[in-house]
Amino acid sequence: MKNSTAKKLEQVPEGYLIIGVDPHKKKHAVVVMTQGAIVQTKFKFNNSRNGFEEVLQRVRVEMLKTGSRGVIFAIEAASHYWRNLAYFLDAHGVPFRLVNPFTLKRRREGEDINRRKNDFRDAEMAAELLRTGKFTSTRLLYGVYAQLRATYNTYRRLVKERTRHMNLLKGLLDGLFPEFTQVFKNPCGKTALTLLFLCAVPEFIAGMKLEDFVDSIRKEFKGRAPKVQKLHAIYLVAGTSIGIGAAAESVSIEVSLLVQRIRLNAEQIEKTEDILVSLVSSIGDSRYLLSIRGLSYITVAGLLAELGPLSYYQNAKQLIKMAGTNPTESESAGKRGSRTPMSKKGRPGLRWCIWTAALSLLRHNPDFRYWAEQRQERPVQSHPLKKREVIGATANRLLRVAYALVRKQILYQVPQMVEIAA
């Protein structure tokens, strides 16, 4: 039986030149190496179309010199500078493989005790790792999957920005109007944002008449109707607030500007979600994933954006490894660790997506909830799982189920026994 390294070595045809590349913003470093580990030449080329065409011409010259049958590129996948070169090579039919930067660093430090590091050394290590089968097989995304990944990345950035704005708003209110969050549990609600946009200074609110205060909010409010009871409650606590009066007006102006950013961010998130829904609907395999009770369009968008077409994978274990939720064991001198935590070596975006999806499944899907309860309540000798361990196991089960549904082209169905028990 061939292991993964043997299978990868078969991807490097005999008699091919190996081109190691260390990508950077302005110039990429290149080392041309034979399969016998002989370095032929080293040079750098610009990160531009002319530079890409130049490297192909120089590589062809080296092919003629060495009598090689072809070339294969080994690109260190650090940062995002490798993407332009990878798409260029793919468009010209030139094979390439990606090298994990963490693997490259450890290999370089293991060989160079003096910690020597430069661009050509990294390019040489990339070529060496490809020569020994320590690379990553990667397929570039095109069409709707490429659009889905770009849009989902935008969505995640907007969600992070929303969280940052909310935390900043709460921090400002802790000094200006600490009682505000006691009345409005969500300071980013429509009524709360309207109030904060007009004025967040408790002394100013307390100095107004209650009717005038409510009318001013109603005039500015955009929606059906503000929450009048909340406004009455905030008016009462404003008179006894312990908010800091010094520089209150300046802080109130900052709060007002922050409210504008929060509103704009909410509009952008809503628009991005609509685009994600339309992209997911255009993918045929998405209907099998949407049939899983507890998964939303946004969750399915995250799965497909991070994984790409599930037909690219040979088994569900590859999906789990891609997410970095695979258990890792630790053994030395015959002693094993009592726990097997997640490796967390995969894509953090995918791991975040399936973790939040697992929480939704445990709440809304009776099949997954029953499955999780069995693993929590099993006997001690069978190692019952704790709460967080169950969530991780549920995330892995989600990936296995999703892969099976797409492979078999069937819709998800909750077992009848589970439906009866629920």
CA-wise closest residue to 369 among 412, 417, 326, 422 = 422
User: What does the alpha-carbon distance between residue 305 and residue 405 come to, in Å, rounded to a whole number?
Assistant: 17
- H helix intervals, 221-291: 228-238, 248-281, 286-290
HSE at residue 308, side-chain half, CA atoms within 13 A, is 13
pLDDT at residue 79 greater than cutoff 90:
no
Length of the chain: 422
Region of residue 134 (left: phi > 0; alpha: psi -120 to 50; beta: else): beta
User: What does the alpha-carbon distance between residue 321 and residue 333 come to, in Å, rounded to a whole number?
Assistant: 26
| pLDDT in the model for residue 109 | 87
Domain ranges of the chain: 12-140, 146-278, 286-326+343-421
Contact call for residues 194 and 226 (beta carbons, < 8 A): yes
Task: Give tens-digit pLDDT for 192-202.
Answer: 999 999 988 99
Calculate mean pLDDT across residues 58-71: 93
User: What does the alpha-carbon distance between residue 32 and residue 19 come to, in Å, rounded to a whole number?
Assistant: 5
CA-wise closest residue to 31 among 99, 106, 113, 90 = 99
CA 383, 388, 390, 394 dihedral sign is negative
pLDDT at residue 380 greater than cutoff 60:
yes
Sorted by sequence, the CB contacts under 8 Å of residue 255 that are 6+ apart come out as 169, 172, 173, 176, 196, 200
| pLDDT in the model for residue 337 | 64
Lowest mean pLDDT among 81-90, 143-152, 314-323, 382-391: 382-391
Topology of domain 146-278, CATH: Helix Hairpins (1.10.287)
Calculate mean pLDDT across residues 100-113: 88
Region of residue 93 (left: phi > 0; alpha: psi -120 to 50; beta: else): left
User: What does the alpha-carbon distance between residue 270 and residue 241 come to, in Å, rounded to a whole number?
Assistant: 35
pLDDT at residue 422 greater than cutoff 60:
no
Contact call for residues 16 and 131 (beta carbons, < 8 A): no
Sorted by sequence, the CB contacts under 8 Å of residue 339 that are 6+ apart come out as none
Contact call for residues 159 and 272 (beta carbons, < 8 A): no
Region of residue 303 (left: phi > 0; alpha: psi -120 to 50; beta: else): alpha
Task: Give tens-digit pLDDT for 210-244.
Answer: 999 989 988 888 878 888 899 999 999 998 999 99
3-state DSSP assignment of residue 52: helix
pLDDT at residue 329 greater than cutoff 80:
no
Contact call for residues 18 and 132 (beta carbons, < 8 A): no
pLDDT at residue 339 greater than cutoff 80:
no
User: What does the alpha-carbon distance between residue 101 and residue 79 come to, in Å, rounded to a whole number?
Assistant: 9
CA-wise closest residue to 355 among 339, 371, 340, 344 = 344
Strands 16-22 and 27-33: antiparallel
Q: Taking the C-alpha atoms of 186, 172, 163 and 213 in order, what is their torsion angle to the nearest 10 degrees?
A: 40
| pLDDT in the model for residue 157 | 96
User: Which of 153 and 111 is assigned the larger pLDDT?
Assistant: 153
Neighbours of 38 (CB within 10 A): 9
DSSP 8-state assignment for residue 198 = H
User: Angle at which helices 387-408 and 316-323 pack, to 10 degrees?
Assistant: 140
- AA letter at 109: E
pLDDT at residue 418 greater than cutoff 80:
no
- Domains 12-140 and 146-278 alike in fold: no
Which of 216-225, 255-264, 331-340, 381-390: highest mean pLDDT? 255-264
User: Angle at which helices 297-307 and 143-176 pack, to 10 degrees?
Assistant: 120
DSSP 8-state assignment for residue 186 = S
| pLDDT in the model for residue 263 | 95
pTM of the model: 0.88
| pLDDT in the model for residue 148 | 96
> Domain 12-140 is classified in which CATH homologous superfamily?
Ribonuclease H-like superfamily/Ribonuclease H (3.30.420.10)
| pLDDT in the model for residue 95 | 94
User: What does the alpha-carbon distance between residue 99 and residue 105 come to, in Å, rounded to a whole number?
Assistant: 10
